[in-house]
A and B are shown apart, each in its own frame.
Chain A
Amino acid sequence: MSDHRFAPGDRVRVLDLPKPGHVRTPHYIRQKLGRVTEYTGKVLNPEDLAYGRSSGPAVNGYRVVFDQSHVWPDYQGSPNDKLHIEVYEHWLEKA
């Protein structure tokens, strides 16, 4: 039984959490719509590790792909250009 919420192919939106500190979700990708390409497994959350909280819990990670023309409305390039980024589960919602 899988304990991760998303699977490759799922459409997702990146949340804009009001979280300070050592977050790994850059601002440019927040609230953008993408597609999960890979479940990358569980890791200890860098948002906690950076402050010495190393006892977990581990969080699920995903690779998510976005259309560059969606990420940057004024994007110059091919409409098929892509942006791939890793996002932890608590930063994602189903779209």
Chain B
Amino acid sequence: MPHDHPHDHEHGHKHDDADPHAPAPDFGDASSRWYEVASDVMRDMLIEQNVIAAREVRKQIELMESKTIQLGGKLIARAWVDPEFRKTLLKDGKAAAAALGIPVTEASLTVVEDTPQVRNVIVCTLCSCYPRSLLGQPPAWYRNKAYRSRVVREPRKVLAEFGSVVPENVELHVHDSNADLRFIVLPMRPAGTEKMSEAELAALVTRDSLIGVAPPRVSSTH
């Protein structure tokens, strides 16, 4: 594989150990190419030595990419119509998902509740932790350094850029998914949805509303 990233040092270096406080490269940065190459080489070696098979890699990617927002929509819609389920979901997200037949393979799923007084937003400042088994892959912006660094420091400004202005009298809670917990937001049920079926409600739930950057809306112009 060609080695084409710009660098000013000899190889044989230790990228991680050289400076523990050096910022990790952003996804898409020229410097992240080193990690892509390293990961490709590692995969090829494991396949070559029969530790894993190429089809297992393919299958895992297919599985990861088959997850969609619909599973999250089902959870939220049920919580909107069923107060008991809502309690379970807030207490133990993984157990609540299991009750709907949705397997969550992360160690835990913590659900944080929006109320008229509190809005929540999720980030992983250190990398891109996300409840992938429930929602699939995170959006590109979720992995970008701009979002990861700014949403902890100036969350109101970032949410406004997503088109969501949080009133001054509403508390904004940022959840850094930095370690073992994975999060989704339980948004408020939008007004004007009283007559909607559970399936119709589930269709209102967007990926961005589960991350917390934009609440669900009834109009077709999300």
Q: Decide if B170 is an interface residue (CB 8 Å cutoff).
A: yes
Residue among A61, A68, A75, A88 with most chain B CB within 10 A? A68
Q: Which of B111-130 contact A (CB under 8 A)?
A: 125-126
**Does B180 lie within 8 Å of A84, measured CB to CB?**
no
Cβ 8 A contact of B171, one of A63, A78, A88: A78
Residue among B169, B175, B177 with most chain A CB within 10 A? B175
Residue among A25, A40, A72 with most chain B CB within 10 A? A40
**Does A81 lie within 8 Å of B155, measured CB to CB?**
yes
Q: Decide if A55 is an interface residue (CB 8 Å cutoff).
A: no
How many positions in chain A have a CB within 8 Å of any CB in the partner chain?
31
In the complex, what residues of B have CB within 8 A of residue A71's CB? 152
**Does B179 lie within 8 Å of A46, measured CB to CB?**
yes
Q: A26–B20 Cα gap in the complex (Å)? A: 12
* Contacts from B to A (Cβ < 8 Å): 16-17, 20-21, 107-108, 125-126, 152-157, 168-181
* Contacts from A to B (Cβ < 8 Å): 19-21, 23-29, 40, 43, 46, 61, 63, 68, 71-72, 75-78, 80-88
